[in-house]
């Protein structure tokens, strides 16, 4: 599938701007957003060939199957209906012959009632109104809420939110330090309510709260599907917010897992966030393929990784409050499409999804952009920036930020020629061989691809759109690759072995069945533990 497309690679990006309106032709606008992919090597012919893949691989049929509640997550025998959580205004969404929206709306209303009670001070801790919320969860039960709460801080008018995820005691220790347990709400966010890191942290938080609060469970909330387990933990059912197994962990920010976001910005703005996601769903379903943002973003991802062979891609938001977006997308993309086999168990052709990484600009410029500009690997960059910031009295800083963002994509494409580098060095007084040598260090090859997603302002609605855009991008890439984007068997083995290793480290079980390296590491740890004891 990919071999023929490789023949279409190789255009020098800047030469594609030939006065025929490429910028406009290779851009998509939608609801306050402009997605410009003109600074890539995609030609009209290559774009058509990529679009043909969408038809050949049955993307639209799979999309319709997803929205129709079919069990497209075949290896877990589950439907994929997180889209129902944000379907505020749509027609019924059916699963096994029933409309799921009634249940979704009831769940949302329950969250909203609780959020209103807490935010108004009607629901209180032992020491008075809740000032701080600690969300304990990991993976999809952590990355989404943490990212979104930070992204939307300008809209916060509720309690402060803190996020604990790691099994490392340092995480919970540092987050609880300084908090007043009598005015803190703990959210245990775990779909399964069995994830060992989350349950261990939840026990630690309960012990911390029990030192100051007579009935600590009264200041606990569970976001979980397993009611028997939340009950055993002692959390009253009115503070348990459940969701169905057709909501995957990394797609769960839209429902109860988003409770911390709702507490932070309030139910009304949370609905705006949902409405942004829903607007992107509608766009994904109805926009023609060539004008479809998620489809084109997916095709560019495949073009860069599977066709051009670039091993990674960078997500570079020029927004400090989107600092956790690259980590969120890492889970979304790498847990979804980091798979070696297709649905039928045969090897994936052209490789799985790429490594995704990134940091906010302008910080990244002073760290890893050196490699992006002059390193030998090409890194397609996905820039994001808002035209307008949230600090009206500091517009000059926002101008600087935007200028930097736009300058980077320009520099990546245009580069600096040897002739320009020589002129620069000559102007500095260099001559002869030394001029040549110095100039070579200042040459930028250019022709490096990037896309830019620019939008009016990072509102709750825009954030919802951006997340849904990337969700559907991952879905389209997965369908074209033939991957099931909704399971995550690759995280299982390490969990099993960690369970086996704990008693080995404790000296309760012999390490003799372990490999030499693992035995050596166990011995090192145990020798320290013995010294400490
Ligand atoms: O919400 P849970 O059940 O605690 O799971 C947390 C995370 O663990 C995973 O299942 C695997 O790491 C993720 O997909 C999920 O987001």
Is the beta carbon of 385 within 6 A of some atom in ligand 1? no
Question: Which are the catalytic amino acids?
Answer: 335, 366, 495
Residue with tokens 């992919």: 37
Residue 134: beta bridge partners?
162, 186
Instruction: Please count the CA atoms within 13 angstroms of the CA of 100 that sit on its side-chain side.
Output: 23
Q: Pick from 140, 260, 338 the residue to mutate for probing ligand 1's pocket: most ligand atoms within 8 Å of its CB.
A: 140
Handedness of CA 432, 433, 434, 438 (dihedral sign): positive
Crossing angle of helices 169-176 and 196-210, rounded to 10° = 40
* pLDDT attached to residue 354: 96
Residue nearest to atom 8 of ligand 1 (CA): 139
- Its CATH class, for the domain covering 84-271, is alpha beta
* pLDDT attached to residue 531: 57
Segment 115-166, tens digit of pLDDT: 999 999 999 999 999 999 999 999 999 999 999 999 999 999 999 999 999 9
Q: What is the residue extent of each domain of the chain? A: 84-271, 495-532
Per-residue tokens: 172: 């919970």
Dihedral through CA 358, CA 413, CA 465, CA 198, nearest 10?
-10
Q: Pick from 80, 249, 253, 498 the residue to mutate for probing ligand 1's pocket: most ligand atoms within 8 Å of its CB.
A: 249
* pLDDT attached to residue 304: 98
Is the beta carbon of 242 within 6 A of some atom in ligand 1? no
- 336-354 core/surface letters (b: 16 or more CB in 10 A; e: else): bbbbeeeeeeeebebebbb
- State the Cα–Cα distance between residues 165 and 249, nearest whole angstrom: 14
- State the Cα–Cα distance between residues 289 and 56, nearest whole angstrom: 13
Residue nearest to atom 7 of ligand 1 (CA): 139
* pLDDT attached to residue 532: 53
Per-residue tokens: 317: 């938001």
Is the beta carbon of 40 within 6 A of some atom in ligand 1? no
Instruction: Per-residue pLDDT tens, the chain, 533 aa: give them.
Output: 899 999 999 899 999 998 989 999 999 999 999 999 999 999 999 999 999 999 999 999 999 999 999 999 999 999 999 999 999 987 899 999 999 999 999 999 999 999 999 999 999 999 999 999 999 999 999 999 999 999 999 999 999 999 999 999 999 999 999 999 999 999 999 998 999 999 999 999 999 999 999 999 999 999 998 889 999 999 999 999 999 999 999 999 999 999 999 999 999 999 999 999 999 999 999 999 999 999 999 999 999 999 999 999 999 999 999 999 999 999 999 999 999 999 999 999 999 999 999 999 999 999 999 999 999 999 999 999 999 999 999 999 999 999 999 999 999 999 999 999 999 999 999 999 999 999 999 999 999 999 999 999 999 999 999 999 999 999 999 999 999 999 999 999 999 999 999 999 999 999 999 999 999 999 999 999 875 54
- State the Cα–Cα distance between residues 236 and 217, nearest whole angstrom: 8
Per-residue tokens: 452: 């830019």
């Amino acid at each position: 599938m990919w071999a023929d497309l490789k023949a279409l690679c190789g255009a020098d990006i800047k030469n594609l701007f030939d006065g025929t309106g490429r910028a406009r032709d290779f851009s998509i606008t939608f609801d306050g957003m402009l997605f410009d992919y003109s600074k890539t090597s995609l030609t009209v012919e290559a774009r058509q060939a990529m679009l043909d893949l969408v038809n050949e691989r049955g993307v639209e049929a799979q999309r319709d199957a997803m929205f129709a509640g079919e069990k497209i997550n075949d290896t877990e025998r589950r439907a994929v209906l997180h889209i129902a959580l944000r379907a505020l205004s749509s027609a019924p969404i059916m699963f096994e012959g029933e409309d799921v929206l009634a249940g979704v709306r009831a769940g949302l209303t329950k969250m909203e009632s609780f959020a209103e009670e807490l935010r108004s001070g009607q629901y209180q801790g032992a020491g008075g109104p809740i000032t701080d919320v600690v969300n304990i969860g990991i993976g999809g039960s952590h990355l989404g809420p943490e990212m979104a709460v930070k992204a939307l801080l300008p809209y916060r008018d509720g309690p402060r939110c803190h996020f604990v995820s790691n099994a490392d005691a340092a995480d919970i220790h540092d987050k609880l330090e300084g908090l007043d347990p009598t005015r803190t709400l703990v959210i245990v966010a775990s779909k399964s309510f069995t994830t060992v890191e989350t349950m261990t942290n939840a026990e630690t938080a309960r012990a911390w709260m029990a030192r100051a609060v007579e009935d600590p469970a009264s200041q606990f909330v569970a976001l979980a599907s397993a009611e028997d387990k939340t009950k055993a933990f002692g959390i009253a059912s009115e503070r348990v917010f459940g969701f169905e197994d057709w909501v995957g962990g990394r797609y769960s920010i839209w429902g109860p897992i988003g409770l911390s976001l709702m507490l932070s910005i309030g139910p009304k703005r949370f609905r705006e966030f949902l409405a942004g996601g829903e607007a992107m769903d509608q766009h994904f379903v109805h926009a023609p393929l060539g004008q479809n943002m998620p489809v084109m973003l997916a095709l560019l991802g495949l073009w860069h990784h599977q066709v051009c062979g670039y091993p990674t891609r960078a997500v570079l938001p020029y927004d400090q409050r989107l600092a956790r977006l690259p980590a969120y997308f890492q889970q979304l993309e790498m847990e979804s499409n980091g798979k070696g086999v297709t649905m039928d168990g045969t090897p994936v052709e052209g490789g799985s999804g790429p490594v995704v990484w990134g940091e906010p600009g302008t910080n990244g410029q002073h760290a890893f952009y050196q490699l992006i500009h002059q390193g030998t690997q090409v890194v397609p960059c996905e820039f994001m920036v808002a035209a307008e910031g949230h600090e009206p009295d500091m517009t000059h800083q926002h101008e600087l930020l935007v200028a930097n963002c736009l300058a980077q994509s320009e520099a990546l494409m245009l580069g600096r020629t040897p002739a320009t580098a020589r002129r620069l060095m000559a102007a500095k007084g260099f001559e002869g061989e030394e001029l040549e040598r110095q100039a070579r260090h200042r040459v930028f090859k250019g022709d490096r691809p990037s896309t830019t997603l620019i939008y009016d302002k990072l509102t709750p609605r825009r954030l919802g759109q951006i997340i849904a855009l990337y969700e559907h991008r991952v879905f389209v890439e997965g369908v074209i690759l033939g991957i099931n984007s909704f399971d995550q068997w690759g995280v299982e083995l390490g969990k099993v072995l960690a369970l086996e290793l704990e008693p080995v480290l404790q000296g309760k079980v012999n390490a003799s069945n372990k490999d030499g390296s693992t035995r050596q590491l166990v011995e090192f740890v145990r020798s320290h533990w013995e010294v400490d004891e």
